[in-house]
Amino acid sequence: MFFSKNKGVSWLIVGLGNPGSQYDATRHNVGFRALDLLAKNLGVKIDRSRFRALTATCDIGGSKVLLLKPQTYMNASGLAVEAAASFYKIPREHILVLCDDISLPVGKIRYRKDGSAGGHNGLKSIISALGGQDFPRVKIGVGEKPHPDYDLADWVLSKFSALEEKSLAPAISHAAEAAEFTLSHKGDEVSARFNGL
């Protein structure tokens, strides 16, 4: 068969978000946006329906990678991630997640090699499905709630202002770069290069 020369998928890069055009520009969907930009940079389209997700395979620095956008809605993201990881026998430390973070200002990103969900329902679902939290993630700042009484669900499903979008654009780009960089560098090298951007 034509794919017999290819080694199996060794990394999974997951962008988190909610399916449906009504969510495209919301804070919760920046993971989708970063993964879409990465795919564009690599010349692939994330459009194959598998594992309750949209997927694409690509090569990054000699590694065969599956790009994955769960179509389960955020709170059940782990179902898609676990299905793909199980199929390809990908260990947790080779599952990179791109997601939003309300504790970071809009325009900032942060790499973490592991950690808790920090209240993020998508990460919570993935940790539960994978049975551990030792997987890397690139967090993209979407800003804190405007005041403590503001409903969190309403906030993450809100859209960015025009001014925020200007700050967000380089962060999305940096997140896509960080995803590629992570596959060939140690965690502290990724942190040193991207944290603070």
Burial of 160 (0-12, 13-18, 19+ CB in 10 A): middle
Domain contains 80: yes
- Residues ≥6 apart with Cβ < 8 Å to 67: 13, 15, 35, 38, 39, 44, 46, 55, 56, 57, 58
Compute the average pLDDT of residues 58-63.
92
Instruction: With respect to residue 1, please indicate whether it lies within any of the assigned structural domains.
Output: no
First to last CA, the chain: 44
In a domain, 3, yes or no: no
Q: Measured in whole angstroms, how far is the alpha carbon of residue 23 from the centre of its chain?
A: 16
Q: What is the pTM of this model?
A: 0.93
Question: Is-contact 49 38, C-beta < 8 A?
Answer: no
The residues that are catalytic are 28
**Is position 4 within any domain?**
no
101 within some domain = yes
Confidence band, pLDDT 50/70/90 cuts, at residue 32: very high
CA atoms of 71 and 141, how far apart (whole Å): 22
Specify the pLDDT at position 196.
77
96 lies in a domain? yes
Q: Is residue 88 part of a domain?
A: yes
**pLDDT tens digit sequence for 70-114:** 999 999 999 999 999 999 999 999 999 999 999 999 999 999 999
Any idea what the CATH number is for the domain that residue 187 is in? Answer: 3.40.50.1470
Which range of residues forms the domain containing residue 94? 11-194
- When divided into structural domains, the chain yields a total of 1
Nearest to 135 by CA among 119, 111, 100: 111
Residue 6 lies inside a defined structural domain of this protein: no
